[in-house]
Chains A and B, each alone.
Chain A
């Protein structure tokens, strides 16, 4: 914008200010004189519904305008501390169920707050006002996860049908109900209290008459690498039998009875390849209603 137009705008505003009582709020119309790019298409933005327009988030603007646009007289999110930026957004958004753990989330702890992921004025996605498409946004800080999603077998995140937020809650999640209630820390809970996996894999949810305790005690991650794997079942190991044998080794002190997780039957011969594909016979490995050994 040319300096002439900018100066004219400011002069006009100064005249308007003289005529107004000393209300610290000045109205969004005044912002348009200088912040053209931000205000021109703001009708597309969900924040347009805020009661005081721009000043709902940026605070009273009269002093800022009177001082010719002095930055320290307005709430500029780029200059706010992360805690204050969070407080400002939560004043309206704190009531949502999905954000009731944001104060102790791993993101907040690492000083990653709302404005690090959301771009209110130049959003790439109109729905959640993200600064980039979701997967690119998450990958930008978690490149190791990107490499996992580049494995041959993976959930279809790069293909666009699965989103990171289907399984994770970037705003923080309650303590997981599996493992020891500590990690993973940003895992979305399905329905009321379960692992996000069963939201889609409903057949694995059970309850079953014969539960595979591994799922319920330590969670799906005991066996699976959900982001990507070299194994067609997204297993943590390239072949299935080593995964099973690593727990089913009879080591004392572990398992349901604390007497070791049972070793395989003596009729199994691991030297024979037919016994190396455990799930060929133990087909209902996630839980069975008919067989304690998950055979059907």
Chain B
């Protein structure tokens, strides 16, 4: 009877899950097998494996589809889930808990696996592995011209020995690898030459090793960790003949090109944490880090072609040197609880870095005399920030919070590019101070309803950039009604920033509003709906050259009217079958500007989807899904596409 009761509770809990937010149609969220698992050799095992076939049919711009979505045809393991738990704590021989979940293995462009294995009081091991195929390779060509998938693999492995002990040992390893062909561009023979696209072979690897400990001493907890990061970029463009330049009217050509630019470096770092909660009314947290980054580099390039007037041109350059960036940070957080209902926290942060490097540069071209010089660069940043916050709960239904934040940043720099060192090094320095205040109010008039209202006001005296925050304010309001069967969330926020001096102005305004509702009218039915808009308006003074004339009084205007509609319905039929319908539409309703500097990007992107999953027997489910993508933009209509994607799969448990 108890087992039956648990099954009913489990089924109700599953069916009462809210409709998931804009998912990709596969994998299927419902799993095969008994949620309570099977007992075997002192362990309880729950598992479900979904294998199936994905299909797609694309009309329109296939390259844009592959950049945005990239799901293709083929068989794959859409998802899997496995948990093995010892029935009694600490009774497992090698482990007490194993949790493994995977997604998209075998063929999907986005593959993921997560593993946790732990043995009570002895160890805990966490591992995450990801594989991503990017069709849009995030390299420099504007407008996202498409080529071939580049591949990125990320791995993170962490082992904690004696996880429940006062003394814990931490070991970790992370790897980040990027491989594959990608496009880049080169301008030849000089700044007035044509641009040539070339294919290069991306090969970047980052390895990070971590060793640390956590222990308790004099009622204070310490965290000490040392990490070693090694990075190498051996991306190269082997000797080859690029195609014609990007501008048909240019007469110069590039017939042979080769570039090697290996960069190897390391960044060892320390981090130390101190935490003390020994006294009830006072806690102390400290965090100190230091890292020393270094990269050694060489650039070796050869380009051969013809100039604007048909004369042979060749250029060979060689650069080599070293760049360094030591960074030190310190953070101290003090929390004081003078009253049961009052919390005061003060956070002080110090950040100090200097970036410096030197390199030699040599260039030899048949059209000009050889050129060589030494470079030296220095950029130093020191930031001090102090943030004090107070949080007061006046009574059960009313709370107040406020804060005052101050930060000061000093930026110093010097640059040298001189063919005949030593030369005088000009040094520049500037300081920016920011004061900001925060005030907020929380209300909970009844248990189900939570309201909050807050505002922030900030003033900086010397921002670094024309688009940085200078005189800004933020206002936000939020209301949430939540019961077991329904929830309603309304939110509004506006951000405004004005950064101006006597000759220039930058003004930015952002307004966000949303209303989201979830309803569970019956245990077998979940409905979800949401609407949101995000309006952005910026105006910035510009100065640029056009037809050889300097234009100083123009403005860049950017408008975005982003609107989002989201609908979802999940129906559980007779506790055997699940039906899900979803629709998501995002639209930027701003109108295309009339001038070059009047920017908007009207687009519509909608993705309806439907999924059906039925339990065939205790250990088997059959799943079917369809998702439609429709992308339309006004600026470059040739980028538009619509695609039908879907899958059919079996989820099984053994």
Contacts and interface: CB of A to CB of B under 8 A. Distances in A.
B542 interface: yes
A274 B247 contact: yes
A152 B460 CA distance: 35
B642 interface: no
Contact of A246 (B176, B436, B493, B506): B506
Interface string B325-342: 101010101010100110
A15 interface: no
B465 A218 contact: yes
Contacts of B227: 191-192
Interface size class of B (residues with CB under 8 A): 35 or more
Interface string B106-131: 00001110101000110000100011
Contacts of B261: 289-290, 296
Interface string B223-235: 1010101010100
Interface of A is mostly: loop
A233 B321 CA distance: 29
Interface size class of A (residues with CB under 8 A): 35 or more
Interface string A203-223: 101111111011011100010
B301 interface: yes
A246 B321 contact: no
Contact of B467 (A132, A152, A222, A240): A222
A238 interface: yes
Contacts of B340: 83
Contacts of A104: 333, 335, 345, 347, 387, 389
Interface in B349-401: 349, 351, 353, 355, 357-359, 361, 375, 377, 379, 381, 383-385, 387, 389, 391, 393, 399, 401
Given A174-B329, A261-B466, A209 B556 contact: no
B537 interface: no
Contacts of A122: 13
B110 A156 contact: yes
B496 interface: no
B272 to A, nearest CB: 10
Interface in B165-211: 176, 178, 184-187, 191-192, 195, 204, 206, 208
A194 B328 CA distance: 11
Contacts of B581: none
Nearest to B539: A246
B455 interface: no
Contact of B442 (A110, A194, A265): A110
A250 interface: yes
A254 B465 contact: yes
B85 A43 contact: yes
B503 A252 contact: yes
A103 B325 contact: no
A152 B629 CA distance: 10
Interface string B497-535: 000010110100000101010000000000000101010
A24 interface: no
B631 A281 contact: no
A280 B185 contact: yes
Given A181-B349, A289-B319, A277 B142 contact: yes
Interface stretch (B49-57, B289-297, B569-577): B289-297
A127 to B, nearest CB: 5
Contacts of B349: 174-175, 181
Interface in A245-296: 245-247, 249-258, 261, 263-271, 274, 276-285, 289-290, 292, 295-296
A115 interface: no
A133 B20 contact: yes
Given A174-B349, A175-B347, A146 B464 contact: no
Contact of B544 (A141, A240, A270): A270
Contacts of B357: 207-209, 289
Interface in A76-134: 81, 83, 90-91, 94-95, 97, 100-101, 103-104, 108-111, 122, 124, 126-127, 132-133
Which are the 4 A-B pairs with shortest beta-carbon distances? A232-B144, A181-B385, A277-B142, A175-B349
